[in-house]
Chains A and B, each alone.
Chain A
Amino acid sequence: MQVGFELNGEHLDLDVEASVSLADLLHSRLAAASVHLGCEQGVCGACAVLVDEEAVRSCLMLAVQADGRRVTTAEGVARRRGGRWSEVEAALVGKGAFQCGFCTSGVVVALEELLAGDEPLTREDVVEQLSGQICRCTGYVPILDAFVSLLASTGRMREEGGR
């Protein structure tokens, strides 16, 4: 089937079989190495990508469903923001917030979604968003700390309690 969509700022027209997941299309055919398969059940979040502005599981979306949409993988997050590194990437690297790296690009995408909003956030909000991303190495602490300090530095942190 024909699909046309924007990937990291570039328009693509492709022919793809209906049964191919967006994750497989991105990783295997479009060399988006950041899209990792960890569970193919929508649980682990390693395959997270932004579709338009929303983080979704690319393993639970058909490639053909990307038709007409704007897809951003971790490779494209910085470009989207017009920089060499996105703020989220810089924050994670600064805190050494990864070990094996397999979850990292999904984490970047999930946090990028949160950062792109404008409402103030609590640490609980960050935990909620991050709880959809499984990391087996870091114990999450450095990831949380990195993002919370990023939010604090941009004045987006709000104290806990009540929303």
Chain B
Amino acid sequence: MGPAAPRPALRPGPGRGRHTRGGGRYVADLVTSGTLVIGFVRSSFARARLGQVDLSRVRSSPGVVAAYGAGDLEGLLRPLPVRFGPGKLYDWHLLAKGSVCFVGEPIALVVGVDRGSVEEACELAEVDYEPLEPILDLDSARSAGAGLVREEAGSNVVFLASKGSGDVEAALASAEVVVDRVFHLARQSACPLENRGVLAEDESLSGELVVCSSTQIPHILRTAVSTVLGRPEGSVRVVVPDVGGGFGLKCQVAAEECLVAWAACHLGRRVVWLEDRWENLVASNHAHDEQVHLRVGFASDGTITAVDAEVTVDVGAHSCYPLSVALEPSSTAAHLFGSYRVPEARVRSLGVATNKCPTGAYRGVGGSVANFATERSLDEAARALGMSRLEIRRRNLLQLADMPYAHPIGGLVDTGDPRMVLEELVGGLDPEAPWLAAIQSLEPAPSPAEGEALLGVGLVVFGEHSSPGSEVYRSRGVTEVPGYDAASVELLEDGTFAVYLSSADAGQGHGDVCRQQVADVLGVAAGDVTVVEGDTGRCPRGTGTFASRFAVAQLSAALRASARLSSRLVEAAAARLSCEVDEVKRDGEVFSSGSGDERVSLKELARWLYVPDSGRLGRSLEVPFAESGYWDDGPTLPTCAMLALVEVDPETFQARVRRIAALEECGRVLDEAVVLGQLRGGIVMGIGDALLEEHRYSETGDLLTSTFMDYLVPTASDVPRLDLRVLDDDRLHSRRSESGAKGVGEAGTIGAVGAVGCALAEAVRAAGGSLDELPGTPLRLFRSCASQGAEGSGVLR
């Protein structure tokens, strides 16, 4: 078979219109006839010792080419070292070996001619399980005698970090008011509309293993694949075709990705695995599932005196690669009270293993619950102190004058003005809107008349830790994430430029933004710049696309490379024009010498460099005429203020978000349409997190939400009116990033979880309830009222 090489992810400029009629090229579109299809036998037990795995009936099933269990891979495929805490690595056997620890864990890999035959064959596997009592929640995981989810860890508390400053207990003891509450966010998952998918082929000609994957982290995936296969990195090429959304799910390396790569080599065939939605919901990665216990002290004037926090995350059955179980606990902790002045703080964060699907990233990560917890505590304190919700925030928000601010929880805040962001949001509101009164009032909202909707307004101000650099990951003990991003910019023989990026697009529109930015630095038309990303064969190594890295880390690297190349162009022009570098004048695409008689166009210069008249070109003129750039100065901290107005049916407790207003300050705005697009999409996702999305397990550890009928994501009917504005103020541009941008990928989600969550809490308060758990499903809202004995009052008469 001589299949066409997988299409590299070369993105044509304005051509996104191709999507309206199937012009995208996702992994599923790369399947050619003759491609073998892979499926997996997956554990039907949450916790069991694994006896014999007999695949003989699988192998003889029609259409099956091969089937492998862990035993068959012995000596052929190495485990992937993944980590719990700093320094604690363990071997992740990509097919379960000896035991299974969650429903859906891959036990055997089956290769066949089509997915139907493979699924049929998978049913025939005979697996001996010796079931054990599954550990399914934090309490049982921590109780004595529960046993261990992962023997390697030696404890079910698989991650533990703490950070503290000053004497928090003393500060709390002398506080006027202490808010002491526990906040929860359910287990959720990212659910990009395109499930995961991998296609791999060991090219016989080049000897290169090509892995086309729907991933956000091509370079990290390459490292993982080369590690498990024991192949030199240079012989593995990861190519990212169109990606139908990632939202964090695809910044974990999946066991399946490595196994598919292995099967391609082992069989010498082009193979593909297209995850289905059941697999995606049951066995990809979940996220969140955590509680935040806050004790926050306030002085009588409303200023925060101390924060004591304990974050506990149910991380599921495995650590994830590369971000590790450190991800959610660390990120949650880091986002607490991020936009506020905090004199004293102590934070502990824990990751606890259970026999549930492993967790990883989902847009917003820990920022979402941190925002809800932070802002809910402020609301409670305002009430206790007889202060308006607006006022308590005004008294505590950081301002430009505080910068740089050494935040005792989140670390250094280099620039920003959260107070100004809040004032801009509030100042721009329609003065008639009910929310203004709600946040300014000293009194809680009055109970509505019988039968009328319960209304609630939520107000939040928060920062998003975007583009964390190597320092952040190393401080969590994570060495699998580089932390930097890199770019190279090359002048080609025809006088146009190619930019190679370490990132991978999942629909954010990187190409368009980058092309324009780079063209501006190089002084050429955007049409002369081609952007290439998502291909480890051509692009420099870097971290990838998550944590709002693109406009910050990736663009900074590209801009640095472009600036370097731009000055080298001048050097080349000087050589060509036989003048000194500082005599070269540039007018558009034409360079001239000081005297102005000698001129050379960019195209001529390029041609001269690549097809020299003689071999006398100097070192600085050598080809490829390219420069690279690198950026590792994160994180940056964009700021957002958001207001949500919700209504709750006082009888059925169904909630609806009516309006959201937000003001986003994300440094320099490179492309307002992209910024607004990220905000809108993020907000609606956050509405899902706050109202609908929730994974549930049965007592035996089976996922009850394994289809889109049961795991509910927002639809068009959940969309409120959105009033979004972007604040671009020179004084607030990032000093760290070259672009001045601070990142905008997750603010919408983080903000909506907090703002809608706080609004729901206000709404049920009017019915005597109190809400500290999200999502605010009707059942949860009902219980929040019923548990306060308030069910009868003002509710069903």
A121 is an interface residue with CB less than 8 A from chain B: no
Interface residues of B (CB under 8 A from A): 16-26, 28-29, 31, 116, 191-195, 242-245, 247, 274, 276-277, 506-509, 673, 677, 680-685, 707-709, 713, 715-717, 719, 722, 748
**A-B pairs with beta carbons under 8 Å apart, 10 shown:** A19-B116, A36-B28, A46-B193, A75-B21, A96-B677, A100-B506, A102-B193, A131-B717, A134-B708, A141-B719
Residues of B within 8 A of A85 (CB): 20
A3 is an interface residue with CB less than 8 A from chain B: no
Q: Are A104 and B708 in contact (CB under 8 A)?
A: no
How many residues on the A side are at the interface (Cβ–Cβ under 8 A)?
A: 54
Instruction: Tell me the complex Cα distance, A58–B31, Å.
Output: 20
Kindly identify which residue among B26, B247, B677 contacts A138, using a CB–CB cutoff of 8 Å.
B677
Residues of B within 8 A of A28 (CB): 31
Instruction: Tell me the complex Cα distance, A32–B682, Å.
Output: 30
Residues of B within 8 A of A93 (CB): 16-17, 20
Interface residues of A (CB under 8 A from B): 19-20, 27-28, 32-41, 43-44, 46, 73-75, 77-78, 85, 88-89, 92-93, 96, 98-105, 108, 127-128, 130-144
Residues of A within 8 A of B681 (CB): 99, 136-139
- Top 4 A-B residue pairs of the complex, sorted by shortest distance between their CB atoms: A34-B22, A100-B507, A101-B19, A102-B244
State whether A27 and B245 are in contact (beta carbons under 8 Å apart), knowing that A101-B16, A130-B716, A136-B191 are contacts in the complex.
Answer: no
Q: Are B708 and A99 in contact (CB under 8 A)?
A: no
Instruction: Tell me the complex Cα distance, A132–B681, Å.
Output: 17
Kindly identify which residue among B26, B29, B31, B715 contacts A134, using a CB–CB cutoff of 8 Å.
B715
State whether A34 and B242 are in contact (beta carbons under 8 Å apart), knowing that A27-B28, A139-B684 are contacts in the complex.
Answer: no
Residues of A within 8 A of B24 (CB): 33, 101-102
Instruction: Tell me the complex Cα distance, A109–B292, Å.
Output: 44
Instruction: Tell me the complex Cα distance, A12–B274, Å.
Output: 27
Residues of B within 8 A of A128 (CB): 717
Interface of A is mostly: loop
In the complex, which residue of chain A has the Cβ closest to the Cβ of B678?
A99
How distant is B251 from chain A, measured CB to nearest CB, in Å?
15
Q: Are A41 and B708 in contact (CB under 8 A)?
A: yes
Residues of A within 8 A of B16 (CB): 93, 96, 98, 101
Residues of B within 8 A of A98 (CB): 16, 19-20, 507
How distant is B213 from chain A, measured CB to nearest CB, in Å?
15
Q: Are A141 and B722 in contact (CB under 8 A)?
A: yes
Residues of B within 8 A of A134 (CB): 193, 708, 713, 715
Residues of A within 8 A of B707 (CB): 39, 41, 43
How distant is A102 from chain B, measured CB to nearest CB, in Å?
3
Instruction: Tell me the complex Cα distance, A131–B31, Å.
Output: 31
Instruction: Tell me the complex Cα distance, A74–B245, Å.
Output: 20
Residues of A within 8 A of B507 (CB): 98-102, 137
Instruction: Tell me the complex Cα distance, A134–B680, Å.
Output: 15
Instruction: Tell me the complex Cα distance, A36–B274, Å.
Output: 12
Taking each of A96, A101, A102, A142, which has the highest tally of chain B beta carbons within 10 Å of its own beta carbon? A101
Kindly identify which residue among B245, B247, B677 contacts A102, using a CB–CB cutoff of 8 Å.
B245
Instruction: Tell me the complex Cα distance, A96–B677, Å.
Output: 9
Q: Are A99 and B277 in contact (CB under 8 A)?
A: no
